[in-house]
Each structure stands twice: as structure tokens, then as C-alpha cells.
């Protein structure tokens, strides 16, 4: 029996793809295997195989790590299915409507089912920064920050809250295990979180965690749970090692028997435990469903050359805990990965730019190369050098386009129109108006919170004299947005006209900021409605781009800069990893617990296994650290990461850059006459 779309798979991959479709099998399926072994590829083949064999694509739920990954998966599925279905594959893949992140899918389901759990479907979604701001407002209302200057900061409060929700653990446990230095505030934090939850409900806003929490709540209502479970015949999850307890509980509720459920993952790549992800989900998987689970392992790596794989395996082999896995490759050619010592971060940038350009000369496009780093700000010196040398790049996982103040202002205005009770958005917008301070804003928002028609309160409000002139224009704008008078995305034009004068009053670079807003309008045009735009942008913001002039041209070749966390699942021909030094990877010098340190080891493993042909780990001898709240910035004399001990350096080609002349060589060259500095400088002042 020939199956042209499965021709490229190896036996283990094919077993996972055919399981329960064209081969026997009925329980849950777990594929666990190392980096580059084709897990994601297998998942794509399985979806294509389902479609080719008559499954309804609208009844397939596919969950990936990012929306971008979901898009890539859909393209792969289409290519694979086209082997059998030809032109019809595209339409079938378009019908794969339920693919995206857990949070994105949660948001969509909640819009449908909101009323049945007492939620208004017009809710707006807070990103982490908005959530921290709301936490701060509540903290302020309860006078907690006034109580003691040592009360945890808003970000810490949010982190504790988020941990409790995602790990479904009691507050005592979260404080004891993860935030011991906050344990003394248990009662205050309990009160704070209760008030935070109430406030969100009153304002009809959801934070990221709520998207999972309410989804889990939906699954707790027997009728809705049955409805939802019946909606999807097949549920597939990529990167399962980075899901948390709440996500696992949702899957179990969706597919209690486990039939039709496929998850793939690699415990050695678990790097999200700081967001309460847990490898226990993989360990517990076989016992979680009423039917027995089937385990498939994949051992052949198709991505990397043998020397890269050997070095990566050596780094992870020293991990204290992991499933034993074998990984081999047939790609025997290629040199050892480089371990390059440079003087400092400026030297690091120069080394990388040279190597990138050299590779491009050899025919490796920029798009096939990437630079990875532990934290977003580490790429600063490199970005400067790339800009100076006119090398276009796109940066993922860093400061987002949406974090710019002016972009946030416009989004807040849209959110306020969508949900006038959204207090964080309201504050942001009102404070833009000259003459309106926090007290006035608070008073108006308070009145709006209890009003039947909150926007009518704005129209009827008598502002302080200084704001009187601007007020009617503002009220009219919001009124028009509320009735959707200008339609979507037409209303953005009105917003721009209203906002421009404020921008020009406050900022010298107003023109640059207006260009950003024009770009925002372009992005907005790609969404069917204001609500879809706000939801998807908040959940999966676009990457920051190389310069203020905008995204690289459509067909332009550009380099990828990315945090390691955002590089998950991807691959490039040539990969550079920045700052492979103690204090960076692992990041916490000495203060980290052993399990935190182990997570850093996995992070390095993830970074190294992104490379297909060439891998460079760069070790600056001097490294600049920003120590938030610990006495400012300082230079650090760095040493190579502890994850590459002397015993395994033989797996690397160790070099120093720029190559220093060795003592022997300089003895052999004839002495050079010292330069006559005086003579040279005389010329300079003439």
C-alpha cells in the first residue's frame, strides 16, 4: 500500500503518524524524543494523515507554542497533504481553524461560552504589564504599599499570584517553595489576591492566567464540558514539556479516555518552569487517562551534524535528572562547534558580524542564521554593530513593538471603547489629556464603574477648567468608537487625528512615533474586527524590527535575533549564542537553587540544538551585568559557563578572537621600529 505523503518518515515516526488512523491503537499517544528528531514534523504528518483519511479539519484542535509555530505547522500540513489531495489540500488546511496557543484557543472558546459562566463576552485581555498595573492599583486601594516599604513589588505580587493559579497550588505552598522571602506577608497577599480577582470581574478584564483558569472552569460544568469534548475528535499538542498543571487538567477534561489525544515533547528542553510549567505532565501522562497510553520514542536526529550533536549531548548528559535518550545522526560532515573567547561584548559583536558576512559570501542567506541570547538586553551592542554595518535584522522575544508608550496609548483607547470598565486602559487614556490628573481620572472611572452606560458618564462629565477645551472632542471620539461609526479599521484614522497634537506637544520625535502608528494601522488591517485585533495582539505580539523605518521589505533577507526562550522548536544553518559565561548562562550567580541551575543547563541545550551546520558559542572575558535592585551595573570578569567543563572542551574547536600572536611567533618576526607618534600627530592639527 503506497502512501506518498508518508514516504519520508522513518519507522518510528510512521508508527506515531498512523497510530489509530491506519494502524491499530486507541488510547492517548505520547511521543517523547530529543531535539531535532522530527517531533513537530511527525505532528504535522499526523494532522495531514488525519485529513487525507477523511477527518474533518474543523474538528481538530492543534496546540503549539506560539501562533507563528501554528502558522508554520499549517503550511507543512498543506504541503504534506498535497501529495495525496493535490489542489484540495489548501482548502482543507484553511479549515484547520482551531490551531494556536493554549491561551489563544482559550480566549476564543471563552467568547463563545462566556455567558454560561457569568462572564460578559466583551471582556478585554490584560498583558503582563497591564496586569501588574492593575495589581498595583488594588495594592494601593488596600493601602498595602503604605503599610511597609518592604511589601513585595507589583511584579512579585503578580508572579506569586500567577504561580498559584498555573501550578494550582495553595498560597502557603507557593510561598514556602518559590517565594520564601514573601512568606511573612501571607495574610496581606491573600487579601490582595482576593481583591484583585474581584476587581478583574467587576471590570470585565481577564489576565493571561484567567484564559486558562476560566477554560478549566468551563470544563468543570458538565454540560459545557460535554459540548466542548464533543467538538474536537482529535487534540494534538507540541512542546508538551512546557505546559503547566492547569493545561494538563484541561486536556484530561477534554479527553478523559485519552482517545484521539497526541502530545509530543522533550523533557531535556523544559525551560518554562518559571511560569509553572512542569515536566511532571510528561511523567504523569501514562496514568492520567482511563485508557492506557502508548509511548513512541524517536532516536534519529535529522537536524544537526554529528559534532554539534556530540557537543550538545555532552552538555545535557551531565544533567541531574532526565529520561535517558539516545540521539544519533547520519550527518557526519562538518567541523566541531566553536567555543570562541573574545575580549568583551564589543569584540563579541565584531566577531559575529564578520562571521555572518563571511557565511553570506559562502551562500548562507541571513535568514538561515540567528543569534540567540539569555535576556533581551544582551543583544544591545550587537544591534548597534549590525545597524552600523547595514545588516537588517528582526528581533524576537525582546522589547515588543507594542511596549512603546505611544502604541500602548492607542491600544488603551481601543480597549476602553471595547470595554469602558477596563480601569487600567481608562487611566492611561485619561491621563493623556492635559489638565486631568490621577484624582480626577479616578473619580470619573469610579463613576463609570457603577454606571449602566459608562460612556454616557464621559459625555456628561464636567472636567477641570484646563481640560474643558479638549473634552468634547475626546467624548465625541469615544462615542463614535463605541457605536463603531467609522468601522474597522477605519476608526484608527480618527484616533490618529485626535492623538497627533498630544504627541507633538510632548515628544520631539513625534514624527517617528506617528510612523509607528501608521505601521500599527497596517497590522490592524489584517484583522477582521477590533476585538480580534486586540485579543491576538495581546496574546502574541509581533516582533520588534531592526530600525524605526519599519519591517524589512517583504523579500529582503534579514538576520534573526532571538531570546533562547523564543527560539524553541526552530532551526538555522548557522547559530551564534551570546555570553556563554557564568552569570549569564546560568544567569543567577550562586543564588539559584539547583533546579533553577538545571533549567539553565537545558536552556543552553535548547540553544545549541537549534544549529544545523555551524554553531558558535561566544565567551566574552568581560561582561556587563545589570543588577536590578542590587547596587547598579558593573563589569564582571567572566568565565566560561560551568556547563562546559574542561572534560568536554575537546568536543569544541576552542579559539580566541582576534587571534593573538603567540609568544613564539613574535620572537621569530623581526622587531618593528616604534611609530613616531609625535610626527604623526603634528599632521593632525595642521
Chain residues that interact with ligand ATP, rule: CB under 6 A: 8-10, 13, 33, 35-41, 266, 269, 302-303, 569, 571, 609
Smallest separation (angstroms) from ligand ATP to the CB of 337:
16
CB atoms within 10 A of CB 584: 23
Q: State the number of binding residues for Mg ion (CB under 5 A).
A: 3
What is the H or E stretch that residue 129 is in?
helix 128-141
DSSP state of 3: -
Residue among 37, 40, 370, 574 that touches Mg ion (CB under 5 A): 40
435 is in an annotated binding site: no
Cell numbers standing for residue 500? 497627533
Nearer residue to ligand ATP within complex by CB, 538 or 609 = 609
What is the H or E stretch that residue 635 is in?
strand 632-637
36 touching Mg ion, by CB under 5 A: no
265 touching Mg ion, by CB under 5 A: no
CB atoms within 10 A of CB 54: 7
Smallest separation (angstroms) from Mg ion to the CB of 115:
37
Beta carbons within 8 Å of 505's beta carbon, 6+ residues apart = 434
Q: Phi-psi category of 579—alpha, beta or left, where left has phi over 0 and alpha has psi -120 to 50?
A: left
Smallest separation (angstroms) from Mg ion to the CB of 96:
18
Nearer residue to ligand ATP within complex by CB, 8 or 231 = 8
570 touching Mg ion, by CB under 5 A: no
Nearer residue to ligand ATP within complex by CB, 305 or 609 = 609
Smallest separation (angstroms) from ligand ATP to the CB of 144:
43
Q: 35 is in the binding site of which of Mg ion, ligand ATP, none (Cβ under 5 to 8 A by kind)? A: ligand ATP
Nearer residue to Mg ion within complex by CB, 241 or 379 = 241
Question: If we measure between CA atoms, which residue out of 631, 629, 623, 543 comes closest to residue 587?
Answer: 623
Nearer residue to Mg ion within complex by CB, 15 or 163 = 15
Contact 342, 581 (CB under 8 A): no
Candidates 36-44, 347-355, 369-377, 423-431 — which segment interacts with Mg ion by CB under 5 A? Answer: 36-44
Q: 41 is in the binding site of which of Mg ion, ligand ATP, none (Cβ under 5 to 8 A by kind)? A: ligand ATP
Contact 615, 575 (CB under 8 A): yes
Q: 296 is in the binding site of which of Mg ion, ligand ATP, none (Cβ under 5 to 8 A by kind)? A: none
Beta carbons within 8 Å of 380's beta carbon, 6+ residues apart = none
Smallest separation (angstroms) from ligand ATP to the CB of 561:
19
Measured CA to CA, the distance from residue 608 to residue 305 in angstroms comes to 12
Between the CA of residue 201 and those of 194, 207, 421, 423, 454, what are the distances in Å? 11, 11, 10, 12, 16
Candidates 33-41, 216-224, 543-551, 674-682 — which segment interacts with Mg ion by CB under 5 A? Answer: 33-41
Smallest separation (angstroms) from Mg ion to the CB of 263:
12
Task: Give, rounded to a whole angstrom, the gap between the first and last alpha carbons of the chain.
Answer: 86
Nearer residue to ligand ATP within complex by CB, 310 or 503 = 310
Q: 347 is in the binding site of which of Mg ion, ligand ATP, none (Cβ under 5 to 8 A by kind)? A: none
Measured CA to CA, the distance from residue 45 to residue 570 in angstroms comes to 17
38 is in an annotated binding site: yes
33 is in an annotated binding site: yes
Nearer residue to ligand ATP within complex by CB, 40 or 136 = 40
37 is in an annotated binding site: yes
Smallest separation (angstroms) from ligand ATP to the CB of 265:
8
Exposure of 279 in the CB half-sphere (CA atoms within 13 A)? 14
Q: 369 is in the binding site of which of ligand ATP, Mg ion, none (Cβ under 5 to 8 A by kind)? A: none
| Phi and psi at residue 243, to the nearest 5° | -95, 160
Nearer residue to Mg ion within complex by CB, 35 or 413 = 35
Q: Could you give the 3-state DSSP secondary structure of residue 107?
A: helix
Q: 36 is in the binding site of which of ligand ATP, Mg ion, none (Cβ under 5 to 8 A by kind)? A: ligand ATP
Smallest separation (angstroms) from ligand ATP to the CB of 70:
14
Residue among 36, 569, 583, 586 that touches Mg ion (CB under 5 A): 569
Smallest separation (angstroms) from Mg ion to the CB of 256:
27
34 is in an annotated binding site: yes
Q: 10 is in the binding site of which of Mg ion, ligand ATP, none (Cβ under 5 to 8 A by kind)? A: ligand ATP
Residue 332-351 contact track with Mg ion, rule CB under 5 A, x = bound = --------------------
Beta carbons within 8 Å of 300's beta carbon, 6+ residues apart = 10, 37, 38, 327, 328, 329, 330
Cell numbers standing for residue 565? 526562550
Smallest separation (angstroms) from Mg ion to the CB of 45:
13
- DSSP letters of 417-474? HH-TT-HHHHHHHHTTSTT--HHHHHHHHHHHHH-SSHHHHHHH----GGGTTTHHHH
Nearer residue to Mg ion within complex by CB, 489 or 569 = 569
Nearer residue to ligand ATP within complex by CB, 33 or 251 = 33
Contacts 24+ apart (CB under 8 A), 374-380: 374/563, 374/564, 374/578, 374/579, 374/584, 374/585, 374/587, 374/603, 375/563, 375/584, 375/587, 376/563, 377/626, 378/578, 378/579, 378/584, 379/561, 379/578
Nearer residue to ligand ATP within complex by CB, 39 or 374 = 39
Measured CA to CA, the distance from residue 258 to residue 276 in angstroms comes to 23
Q: 562 is in the binding site of which of ligand ATP, Mg ion, none (Cβ under 5 to 8 A by kind)? A: none
595 is in an annotated binding site: no
Q: 8 is in the binding site of which of Mg ion, ligand ATP, none (Cβ under 5 to 8 A by kind)? A: ligand ATP
Ranked by CB distance to ligand ATP, the top (closest) residue is 38
Measured CA to CA, the distance from residue 83 to residue 81 in angstroms comes to 5
Smallest separation (angstroms) from ligand ATP to the CB of 610:
7
Cell numbers standing for residue 316? 545535557
Binding residues: 33-40
Binding residues for ATP: 33-40
What residues line the site for Mg ion (CB under 5 A)? 39-40, 569
Amino acid at each position: 500500500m503506497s502512501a506518498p505523503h508518508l514516504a519520508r518518515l522513518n519507522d518510528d515516526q510512521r508508527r506515531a503518524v498512523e497510530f489509530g488512523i491506519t494502524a491499530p491503537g486507541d488510547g492517548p499517544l505520547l511521543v517523547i524524543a530529543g531535539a531535532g528528531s522530527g517531533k513537530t514534523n511527525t505532528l504535522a504528518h499526523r494532522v495531514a494523515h488525519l485529513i487525507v483519511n477523511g477527518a474533518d479539519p474543523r474538528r481538530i484542535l492543534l496546540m503549539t507554542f506560539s501562533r507563528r509555530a501554528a502558522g508554520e505547522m499549517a503550511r507543512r500540513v498543506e504541503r504534506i497533504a498535497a501529495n495525496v489531495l493535490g489542489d484540495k489540500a489548501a482548502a482543507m488546511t484553511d479549515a484547520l481553524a482551531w490551531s494556536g496557543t493554549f491561551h489563544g484557543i482559550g480566549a476564543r472558546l471563552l467568547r463563545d461560552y462566556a455567558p454560561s459562566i457569568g462572564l460578559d463576552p466583551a471582556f478585554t485581555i490584560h498583558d503582563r504589564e497591564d496586569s501588574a498595573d492593575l495589581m498595583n492599583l488594588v495594592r494601593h486601594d488596600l493601602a498595602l504599599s503604605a503599610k511597609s516599604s518592604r511589601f513585595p513589588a507589583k511584579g512579585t505580587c503578580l508572579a506569586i499570584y500567577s504561580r498559584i493559579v498555573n501550578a494550582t497550588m495553595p498560597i502557603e505552598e507557593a510561598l514556602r517553595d518559590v517565594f520564601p522571602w514573601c512568606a511573612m506577608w501571607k495574610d496581606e497577599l491573600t487579601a490582595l489576591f482576593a481583591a484583585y480577582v474581584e476587581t478583574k470581574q467587576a471590570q470585565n478584564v481577564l489576565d493571561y492566567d484567567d484564559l486558562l483558569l476560566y477554560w478549566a472552569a468551563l470544563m468543570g460544568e458538565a454540560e459545557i464540558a460535554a459540548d466542548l469534548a464533543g467538538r474536537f475528535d482529535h487534540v494534538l499538542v507540541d512542546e508538551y514539556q512546557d505546559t503547566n498543571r492547569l493545561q494538563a487538567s484541561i486536556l484530561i477534561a477534554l479527553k478523559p479516555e485519552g482517545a484521539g489525544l497526541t502530545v509530543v515533547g522533550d523533557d531535556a528542553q523544559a525551560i518554562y518552569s518559571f511560569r509553572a510549567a512542569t515536566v511532571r505532565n510528561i511523567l504523569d501522562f501514562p496514568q492520567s487517562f482511563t485508557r492506557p497510553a502508548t509511548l513512541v520514542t524517536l532516536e534519529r536526529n535529522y537536524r544537526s551534524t554529528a559534532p554539534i550533536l556530540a557537543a550538545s549531548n555532552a552538555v545535557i548528559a551531565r544533567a541531574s535528572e532526565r529520561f535517558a535518550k539516545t540521539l544519533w545522526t547520519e550527518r557526519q560532515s562538518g567541523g566541531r562547534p566553536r567555543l570562541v573567547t573574545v575580549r568583551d561584548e564589543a569584540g563579541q559583536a565584531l566577531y559575529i558580524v564578520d562571521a555572518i558576512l563571511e557565511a553570506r559570501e559562502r551562500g548562507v542567506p541571513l535568514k538561515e542564521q540567528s543569534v540567540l541570547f539569555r535576556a533581551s538586553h544582551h543583544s544591545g551592542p550587537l544591534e548597534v554593530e549590525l545597524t552600523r554595518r547595514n545588516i537588517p535584522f528582526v528581533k524576537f522575544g525582546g522589547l515588543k513593538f507594542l511596549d512603546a508608550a505611544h502604541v500602548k496609548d492607542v491600544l488603551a483607547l481601543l480597549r476602553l471603547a471595547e470595554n469602558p470598565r477596563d480601569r487600567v486602559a481608562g487611566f492611561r487614556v485619561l491621563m493623556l489629556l492635559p489638565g486631568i490628573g490621577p484624582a480626577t481620572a479616578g473619580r470619573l472611572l469610579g463613576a463609570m464603574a457603577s454606571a449602566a452606560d459608562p460612556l454616557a458618564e464621559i459625555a456628561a462629565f464636567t472636567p477641570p477648567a484646563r481640560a474643558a477645551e479638549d473634552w468634547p472632542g475626546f467624548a465625541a471620539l469615544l462615542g463614535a468608537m463605541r457605536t463603531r461609526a467609522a468601522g474597522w479599521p477605519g476608526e484608527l484614522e480618527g484616533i490618529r487625528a485626535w492623538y497627533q497634537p498630544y504627541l507633538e506637544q510632548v515628544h520631539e520625535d513625534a514624527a517617528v512615533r506617528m510612523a509607528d502608528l501608521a505601521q500599527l494601522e497596517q497590522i490592524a488591517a489584517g484583522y477582521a474586527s477590533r476585538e480580534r485585533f486586540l485579543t491576538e495582539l495581546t496574546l502574541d505580539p509581533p516582533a520588534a524590527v531592526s530600525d524605526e523605518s519599519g519591517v524589512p521589505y517583504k523579500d529582503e533577507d534579514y538576520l534573526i535575533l532571538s531570546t533562547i526562550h523564543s527560539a524553541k522548536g526552530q532551526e538555522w544553518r548557522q547559530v551564534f549564542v551570546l555570553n556563554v559565561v557564568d552569570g549569564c548562562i546560568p544567569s543567577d550567580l550562586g543564588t539559584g537553587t539547583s533546579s533553577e541551575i538545571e533549567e539553565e543547563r537545558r536552556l543552553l541545550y535548547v540553544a545549541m540544538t537549534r544549529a544545523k551546520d555551524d554553531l558558535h558559542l561566544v565567551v566574552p572575558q568581560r561582561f556587563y551585568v545589570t543588577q536590578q535592585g542590587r547596587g547598579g551595573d558593573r563589569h564582571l570578569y567572566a568565565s566560561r559557563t560551568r556547563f562546559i567543563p574542561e572534560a568536554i572542551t575537546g568536543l569544541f574547536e576552542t579559539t580566541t578572537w582576534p587571534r593573538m600572536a603567540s609568544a613564539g611567533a613574535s620572537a621569530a618576526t623581526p622587531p618593528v621600529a616604534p611609530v613616531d607618534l609625535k610626527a604623526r600627530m603634528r599632521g593632525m592639527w595642521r
